[in-house]
Structures are given as C-alpha cells and as structure tokens.
Amino acid sequence: MPSPKSTRENRVGGSASTSNGRFEFISMANSRTPLSDPAAARLRASESPVRRRDSSSSQQMLPEEDCMKLNPSFLGIAFRSLLAIDLWLSKKLGVCAEEHCSWGSARPVMKLIEISGHGIPWIAGALYCLYKSDSLAGQEVVLNLLFALILDLALVGLVKGLVKRRRPVHNRMDMFATFSVDRYSFPSGHATRAAMVCRFILNHLVLAIPVRVLLVLWAVIVGFSRVLLGRHNVTDVAFGFLMGYMQYSLVDYFWLSPSKIPTLFSLWSQ
C-alpha cells in the first residue's frame, strides 16, 4: 500500500495510482482550476472547436464584405456617373421649362413643335390620306405608315411601362393629349416617332433635296425640343432616336402589301 506522501507526490506530478497498482493521468488544467469556477468554464467554452470554427469563418467573411462596399464594380461606377451627367446636362438644357427661364419666351414655339411630333395628329392625318387616296400604291404606303404609327405607340408604351423612369423634376405637365403611361420619361415617344417617320418618308416618297433636308431638320428639332421643354432627359431622346430608327426596319420587314391582305385593299379601293 503506497504511503500518503507518495500518493500526494504522484498527484502533483500529473499521475495517480489506483488500488490495483495501475496509474491514471490527470489533466494539469483540471487539477489547477476548480470545476466550479465560472470564468474557467467560459474560457473552456470559448476554446471549443465549434467556437473557434465560427470565429474563423466570421473573420474570413468580414474582409470580403468590406471589399464589396469599398470596391464597387466598374460598371456600377460608370452607370452612376453617366446618370449624374445625364441629369445635370438635362437640367442645364431645360431653358424653356418655365416662362421665367432664360429661353422662356420661346416656350410657345417649342410647344407647337411638340404638337407637330405628337401621335394623334399623325394618326389622324394618315387616316385622312388613306380615305382620300385613289391609287393602290398610295394606299399601300399610307396604310403602312398608319401601321408604323400604331406600332410606335405600342412599343413606346411597353418600354415606358417596363422602365418607369420619372420625368425630370423641372418638367411642367402641361403636355397635349397625354395618357397614363406618359408620366414616364424613357424613351421619348416624340423622338421615336420623328426618327421613324423621317426614315419612312425618305424611303417611300420622292422629295426634292431641300425638302429632305427640312424633314431631317424637323426630326432633330422635335427631339431637341423635348430636352429644352424639360420633358425628357438627354438619354431619353438619344435612345428614342435609336429606337425609332430601328422601328422602321421592323415595319419594312412586315410590310403590308396587296398580296398579303387583298381584302382590305379592295375595300379601300371601292
């Protein structure tokens, strides 16, 4: 039987003997720190593998989030810069938005140009020409012009409803014959219509060179007047010109001829 002194020495050295003569090793931490100590329990819990794994994963995620905030994408920076330039330039060019603006006296003239590019006068004029036309070739051209105008209204309304970009803050809503979708700004319906009608007439009507130049000038003035009146931003008009130019290609692809719809042409020719 071991003496009490040897047993005590074995416990201090980190081992203890059992009654059958075998030794058991006891943790030095357990021997030094009582189990009832709350601070020691918290320390051991903080050193657990699960806690260390969670802390290491959080340390790995924080730098990535910081990088996303501090290093935005190049496309995001370019888009925000373009938007800021667009808004600033549109505000500077809106010199006819109000009567007290620098070009406020030219506002009535700009509103006349606005009406000249409106869809209702063009559709009414196309219907009148279709009714008065007595030649099959003339009816074909006017009918496709009417189809192009209706297509323009549908596509512009669709894009405006999808994008839902508000009109400039300096715009005054006193436009001629507006609809619910006209509270949106992108794209400019006047610009799309002017570009499409200009390309349509240049391709299907025989005009003198001065008249052709005036037609192109009218289309440019209609689009530019939208910015001067404060109705649209610059990008609205630029995209409108591009969209109207492409719309004519769509009309030309689906060109309505007497061979495709003979019943309708025979009805109008009677």
Residue 118 falls in the annotated catalytic set: no
Per the residue annotation, which of 100, 170, 204, 232 is the catalytic one? 232
Per the residue annotation, which of 100, 170, 190, 204 is the catalytic one? 190
Q: Please state, in angstroms and as integers, the Cα–Cα distance from residue 161 to each residue in 2, 60, 116, 188, following that order.
A: 94, 43, 24, 13
Residue 190 falls in the annotated catalytic set: yes
Is there a contact between 114 and 225 (Cβ–Cβ < 8 Å)? yes
Q: Catalytic positions, please? A: 190, 232
